[in-house]
């Protein structure tokens, strides 16, 4: 089954404790991206990657890091989480030739205390 | 700056009634346009897309959308809403350089 898998789905952590949210897709998509969803703001792009070893900042990259060492994986790293990073995070992927036709993961709800 | 606007935060319709969700975009050139649906606790699912050509596009679940260049709009419609359509709907646009923006979403409530 074609899917984008995120882990963990739910996480409560404390300020400053490094965490990683993993994202994996099994569709051989070149393009992968991370979004955060906050009430009234819709989805805002954090980082995206057009292919292996190619990453770029989205609209709200501050406080986040990503890496793309393999085509299928695109982890999101919060080196020192802060309460304003409490949010619902989505990973998405697509073929580069199908810009905008994104497949989304089920989301990771992160709470930073 | 490029943006997508959904003017209605929340809409309530009765089951069986028609539905129209509004979307306006502000891009230098006409972007590719999309509607996504998010059911509670789920990720987003693509409903339909517009790249070019026929300005009325059909999607899944009985939805359609009409592109109007003169109004920079891409409104989503459904002739008869079902209770299972209750969800949040997002309009999105992407430019040729892959700058993708989402609207803030419209939450749809369906009354029995």
Residues 83-102 of B with CB under 8 A from A: 90, 92-94, 96, 98, 100, 102
C-alpha neighbours within 13 Å on the C-beta side of residue A11: 25
Q: What is the mean pLDDT of each run of 10 residues along chain A (113 residues)?
A: 94 96 96 93 92 93 97 97 97 87 94 96
Average of per-residue pLDDT values in chain B: 94
pLDDT of residue B68: 96
Closest CA to B28 of B67, B2, B55: B2
What is the Cα Rg of chain A in Å?
A: 13
Q: Give the percent of chain B with pLDDT over 90.
A: 83
Tell me which residue in B6, B46, B90 faces A101 most closely, judged by beta carbons: B46
Contacts of B100 in chain A (CB under 8 A): 33, 45, 99-100
Enter the DSSP assignment of A85: G
Tell me which residue in A42, A105, A107 faces B102 most closely, judged by beta carbons: A42
pLDDT of residue A97: 77
**pLDDT band at B102, cuts 50/70/90?**
very high
Cβ A66 vs Cβ A47: under 8 Å? yes
Helix (H, G, I), strand (E, B) or coil at A96: helix
Enter the DSSP assignment of A73: B
Report the alpha-carbon distance of residue B36 to residue B47 in Å, rounded.
5
Cβ B38 vs Cβ B87: under 8 Å? yes
Cis-peptide into B80, omega within 30 deg = no
Q: Residue B17 pLDDT > 90, yes or no?
A: yes
Q: Chain B closest CA to A43's CA: distance in Å?
A: 6
Q: Chain A closest CA to B16's CA: distance in Å?
A: 28
DSSP string, B25-94: EE-SS--EEEEEEE-TTS-EEEEEEE-SS-SEEE-GGG-EEEEEGGGTEEEEEESS--GGG-EEEEEEEE
Contact A99 B105 (CB under 8 A): no
Mean pLDDT of B1-26: 95
pLDDT of residue B3: 92
Question: In chain B, whose CA is at the least distance from the CA of A105?
Answer: B43
pLDDT of residue A98: 80
Contacts of A41 in chain B (CB under 8 A): 104
Contact B44 A100 (CB under 8 A): no
Write out pLDDT tens, residues B64-84: 999 999 999 999 999 999 999
Enter the DSSP assignment of A30: S
């Amino acid at each position: 089954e074609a899917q984008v898998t995120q882990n963990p789905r739910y996480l409560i952590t404390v300020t400053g404790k490094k965490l990683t949210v993993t994202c994996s897709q099994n569709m051989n998509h070149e393009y992968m991206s991370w979004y955060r969803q906050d009430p009234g703001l819709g989805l805002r792009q954090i980082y995206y990657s057009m292919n292996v070893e190619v990453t770029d900042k989205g609209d709200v990259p501050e406080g986040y890091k990503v890496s793309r060492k393999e085509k299928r994986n695109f982890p999101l790293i919060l080196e020192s989480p802060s309460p304003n990073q409490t949010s619902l995070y989505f990973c998405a992927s697509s073929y580069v030739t199908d810009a905008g036709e994104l497949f989304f993961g089920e989301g990771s709800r992160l709470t930073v205390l | 700056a490029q943006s997508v606007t959904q003017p209605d935060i929340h809409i309530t319709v009765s089951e069986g009634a028609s539905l129209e969700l509004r979307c306006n975009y502000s891009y230098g050139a006409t972007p590719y346009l999309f509607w996504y649906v998010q059911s509670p606790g789920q990720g987003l699912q693509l409903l339909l897309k517009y790249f070019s050509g026929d300005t009325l596009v059909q999607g899944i679940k009985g939805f359609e959308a009409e592109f109007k260049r003169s109004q920079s709009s891409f409104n989503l419609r459904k002739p008869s809403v079902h209770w299972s359509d209750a969800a949040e709907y997002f309009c999105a646009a992407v430019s040729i350089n892959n700058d993708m923006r989402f609207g803030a979403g419209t939450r749809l409530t369906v009354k029995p």
